């Protein structure tokens, strides 16, 4: 089941329609039904993907062994352009409205669930997606469940237990294979030209045109064999367990930044801005963490990012809370200044409390991935980057039937080429403020490329 909605420059349709007019959210001839069953522990979630998914199809949102994985496609919505958030949200509401649901678990992430990944920029040529898996396995604490989605007019399965039993049994659908030797080449800009772009951005900031801009660069990898998204995902999750590892429609990564979580009336957003590379020496890294926490340049960059999140959430919340000072988040390759912003949704507002996709629309793009003021920073990105970011730095995550879910920013990620899966684009970005040094920013971008380069392998 596939539909394309949200063409650039057009308002969202009130319902998600096929070109011929077939309503994908109807209760018959295109609607879906969901069944969620609690099951015994089938083992690590990503190991299930290695057995049950194909190289091109894994769906995942996993952190520290918990989260969601899925495979197969019961429905797919493509959504691009200015109204991509609204059209994805409208299509999702249509799919779940009045749909038959049997949910024996009743936790966030049970019942109807879709994975989503949207473009960073409304003008991007890349279409965003919202994918409903045929089979989903979730884990929260010691609770594990299986959810199946199928057309309402298909024969009713005997029980959810039958689907659950099939999850952990049988031979692999397609064995996981490594990419072999990997070669790298410059993307839109080589390192020196990108550093020159940073210098131009610093000059514009110092001239008072804006306060901060985030400039990204890309790197192109060509592997000996087709890149298996499951291979890349598993290696990233193993190396960066504190990040949210994700895979949606060929975009695979491990992000440390949670754009928004909505869960039972509460909202949470993790803001990262300000970075320093680790050395591997514990004593030296402790000193570097202290210098990062005192760095005027990094604290200024971080303040812009936190302020943008608080301002975006405030209209939707009764209360919002942000810490007075950030903490230092330690990752294997870098350290970030981090702040957790929380809020209580205002369910008395007209139309009720917004769902996680609507909250993501209100927040995106944050100063952490764009800059401030937003319009000036976005214009400078278009002028200086020389590339289409695709879905890099765009929202990625999942939404359930109640509007709860988790949406991260697609950072530390790679986009596997659908036409030639041996080709992969890697991305990294850095926040630029008045005190930025272009060569230091280039070194920071190299550090942010390390996770995916290490996961792919190659020189």
Say how far residue 182 (Cα) sits from the centre of its chain: 25
Distance in angstroms (rounded) separating the CA atoms of residues 257 and 368: 9
3-state secondary structure of 229: helix
CA distances from 99 to 111, 187, 377 (A): 10, 45, 42
Distance in angstroms (rounded) separating the CA atoms of residues 190 and 415: 19
Distance in angstroms (rounded) separating the CA atoms of residues 255 and 241: 10
Distance in angstroms (rounded) separating the CA atoms of residues 196 and 221: 23
Q: Which residues are catalytic?
A: 212, 257
Handedness of CA 192, 365, 448, 295 (dihedral sign): positive
Which one, of 165, 116, 157, 171, lies nearest residue 137 by Cα?
Answer: 165
Distance in angstroms (rounded) separating the CA atoms of residues 283 and 277: 14
Which one, of 31, 61, 124, lies nearest residue 393 by Cα?
Answer: 124
Distance in angstroms (rounded) separating the CA atoms of residues 136 and 75: 13
Which one, of 189, 105, 145, lies nearest residue 384 by Cα?
Answer: 189
CA distances from 93 to 112, 117, 130, 425 (A): 11, 17, 12, 33
C-beta of residue 39 within 8 angstroms of C-beta of residue 145: yes
CA distances from 190 to 153, 242, 273, 381 (A): 54, 31, 24, 16
For tokens 């999750």, the residue is: 237
Distance in angstroms (rounded) separating the CA atoms of residues 360 and 366: 10
Which one, of 222, 250, 176, lies nearest residue 414 by Cα?
Answer: 250
């Amino acid at each position: 089941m596939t539909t394309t909605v949200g063409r650039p420059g057009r308002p969202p349709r009130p319902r998600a329609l096929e070109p011929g007019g077939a309503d994908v959210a109807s209760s018959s001839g295109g609607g879906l039904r969901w069944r969620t069953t609690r099951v015994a522990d089938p083992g690590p979630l990503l190991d299930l993907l290695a057995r049950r998914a194909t190289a091109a199809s894994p769906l995942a949102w996993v952190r520290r062994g918990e989260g969601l994985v899925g495979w197969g496609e019961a429905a797919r919505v493509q959504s691009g352009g200015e109204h991509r958030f609204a059209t994805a949200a409208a299509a999702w509401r249509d799919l779940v409205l009045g749909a038959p649901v049997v949910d024996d678990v009743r936790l966030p992430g049970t019942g109807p669930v879709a994975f989503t990944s949207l473009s960073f920029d409304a003008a991007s040529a890349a279409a965003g997606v919202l994918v409903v898996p045929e089979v989903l396995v979730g884990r929260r604490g010691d609770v594990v469940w299986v959810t199946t989605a199928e057309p309402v007019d298909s024969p009713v399965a005997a029980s959810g237990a039958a689907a659950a039993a099939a999850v952990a049994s049988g031979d692999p659908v397609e064995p996981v294979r490594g990419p072999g030797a990997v070669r790298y080449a410059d993307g839109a800009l080589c390192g020196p030209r990108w550093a020159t772009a940073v210098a131009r951005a610093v000059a514009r900031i110092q001239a008072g045109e804006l306060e901060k801009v985030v400039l990204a660069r890309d790197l192109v990898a060509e592997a000996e064999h087709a890149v298996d998204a499951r291979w890349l995902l598993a290696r990233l999750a193993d190396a960066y367990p504190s990040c949210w590892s994700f895979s949606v429609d060929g975009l695979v990564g491990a992000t440390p930044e949670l754009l928004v979580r909505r869960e039972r009336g509460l909202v949470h957003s993790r803001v990262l801005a300000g970075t320093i590379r680790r050395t591997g020496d514990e004593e030296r890294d402790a000193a570097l963490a202290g210098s990062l926490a005192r760095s005027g340049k990094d604290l200024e960059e971080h303040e812009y990012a936190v302020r943008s999140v608080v301002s975006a959430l405030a209209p939707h919340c009764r209360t919002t809370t942000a810490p007075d000072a950030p903490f230092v988040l330690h990752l294997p390759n870098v350290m970030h200044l981090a702040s957790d912003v929380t809020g209580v949704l205002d369910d008395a507002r007209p139309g009720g409390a917004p769902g996680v996709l609507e909250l993501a629309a209100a927040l995106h793009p944050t100063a952490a991935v764009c800059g401030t003021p937003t319009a000036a920073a976005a214009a400078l990105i278009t002028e200086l980057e020389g590339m289409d970011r695709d879905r890099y730095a765009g929202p990625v995550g999942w939404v359930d039937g109640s509007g709860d879910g988790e949406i991260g920013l697609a950072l530390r990620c790679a986009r596997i080429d659908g036409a030639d899966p041996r080709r992969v684009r890697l991305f990294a970005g850095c926040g630029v403020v008045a005190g930025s040094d272009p060569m230091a920013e280039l070194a920071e971008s190299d550090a942010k490329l390390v996770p995916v380069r290490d996961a792919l392998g190659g020189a």
